[in-house]
Amino acid sequence: MAKLGPSIDELISALRCLPGVGPKSAQRMTFHLLERNRDGAQRLVQALSHALDNVKHCQRCRILSETELCSRCNDDRRQQDILCIVEMPSDVLAIEQATQYQGQYFVLSGHLSPLDGIGPDALGIPKLIEWLDKNTIEEVILATNPTIEGEATAHFIGELARTRNIKVSRLAHGIPLGGELEFIDSSTLSHAFSGRESL
Amino acid sequence: MAKLGPSIDELISALRCLPGVGPKSAQRMTFHLLERNRDGAQRLVQALSHALDNVKHCQRCRILSETELCSRCNDDRRQQDILCIVEMPSDVLAIEQATQYQGQYFVLSGHLSPLDGIGPDALGIPKLIEWLDKNTIEEVILATNPTIEGEATAHFIGELARTRNIKVSRLAHGIPLGGELEFIDSSTLSHAFSGRESL
């Protein structure tokens, strides 16, 4: 690739740390920032460095938070005895937007993946065990992704909860609303068929 | 959308200045940067603020450059009497990568768009006129995009060159290599048909 100078090349390369940004997009972003939107670029520098300095994880649920406890963990009006386990902070937002759920969350920040060296410790499982042991939890909702790793993680945590006599549930799998049978993948369809509900 | 705190929300909003990044992607990028790649985020902060401080425009061809004259304008071995006019710095890179062109460039940084208040001055046309007047230019290659605005810009600059008795050329239009007639849009196909070349 033709070179434009070390600062520009370094910026193109640094932008590739963003998810879904390849060399072409990084180049386009670089030109856009330097050519058309230097104010926006300046704002991005400030927002990013401010967030890097100030955003930590909630000490309780591990979601990204600027305070020691996030707003949800600080909110006494939420139910204390129901705990929803998700992989990513974005899953919390998705559930908050879509449902009326008013319980607690625990963010794993990933899923079990022994080949990548991600074991229970990296997912904060010791902290989760402490939570389950020290508090009265009626139900654990496993809301990990329906992938192989997500299922394995759900299974692992489900066992932890069951040995403590806590009710365990898993998000329902099946045909998405608005989906057409013809275009649903066969494993989802087979799952939905065998798990059919009586009317 | 559920809120995560002012620093995080500001970062999500600041990331939307990047081209092609909507609210969902900005949120995904934010989580990725803060959750998984703080080193990359730190590097991005440094690269971006360094580029903002150091990258200016080449005084001659207006491409982004860290020095007063870019490497191409500084290179005496390139042909001095042929000038290729492009809209964006990325077009220079594309032409450099794809062709053997060894002449000069002039970057408009846009196209004529009177409704958006982009007139000849914003495109550096006065500087281009000075260049055409003070130097011996044999040929001007118009390599603006084949859009309505790009064609209008090319026409405008073509007239400037013709009144100075400079040969003017335009990139050839037609069917892209590897394209299939069936899937080519009709205006391109009609253009290629009427502009057919004899074998």
ipTM field: 0.78
- Partners of B18 on chain A (C-beta within 8 Å) are 29, 32-33, 44
| Chain A: residue whose CA lies nearest to B92 | A2
Average pLDDT over residues A176-199: 81
Q: What is the pLDDT of residue A4?
A: 74
Render pLDDT for A30-82 as a digit per residue (tens, 0 to 9): 999 998 899 999 999 999 999 999 999 999 999 999 999 998 999 999 999 99
CB contact under 8 A, B31 and A90: yes
pLDDT at B163 over 50: yes
Tell me which residue in B2, B25, B45 faces A97 most closely, judged by beta carbons: B2
Interface of B with A in 110-149 (CB under 8 A): none
Residues of B in Cβ contact (< 8 Å) with A43? 14, 17
Of the partner residues B5, B27, B35, the one whose CB lies closest to the CB of residue A66 = B5
- Average pLDDT for A151-172: 92
Specify the pLDDT at position A1.
45
Using H for helix, E for strand and C for coil, what is the string for chain B? CCCCCHHHHHHHHHHCCCCCCCHHHHHHHHHHHHHHCHHHHHHHHHHHHHHHHHCEECCCCCCEECCCCCCCCCCCCCCCCEEEEECCHHHHHHHHHHCCCCCEEEECCCCCEHHHCECCCCCCHHHHHHHHHHCCCCEEEECCCCCHHHHHHHHHHHHHHHCCCCEEEECCCCCCCCCCHHHCCHHHHHHHHHCCCCC
Convert the pLDDT of each residue in B109-150 to its tens digit: 889 998 888 899 989 999 999 999 999 999 999 999 988 999
Residue B3 pLDDT class (50, 70, 90 cuts): low
Mean pLDDT across A160-182: 87
Residue A3: pLDDT band with limits 50, 70, 90: low
* Full set of structural domains in chain B with CATH: 1-13+22-45 (no CATH), 79-170 (3.40.1360.10)
Rounded to the nearest integer, the mean pLDDT of chain A is: 90
Instruction: Give the pLDDT of residue A184.
Output: 81
> CB A8 to CB B55 under 8 A?
yes
Instruction: Give the pLDDT of residue B1.
Output: 45
The residues in B 31-60 lying below 8 A from A, measured between CB atoms, are 31-35, 37-38, 40-52, 54-55
pLDDT, tens only, B60-116: 999 999 999 998 999 999 999 999 999 998 889 889 888 889 999 999 988 999 888
Q: Is the CB of A1 inside 8 Å of chain B's CB atoms?
A: yes
Q: Which of A7, A48, A93 sits opposite B44 (nearest CB)?
A: A48
The answer for A 179-198 residues in CB contact with B (under 8 A) is: none
Chain B contact for A177 (CB, 8 A cutoff): no
| pLDDT cut 90: percent of chain A above it | 62
Confidence label for B160 from pLDDT (cuts 50, 70 and 90): very high
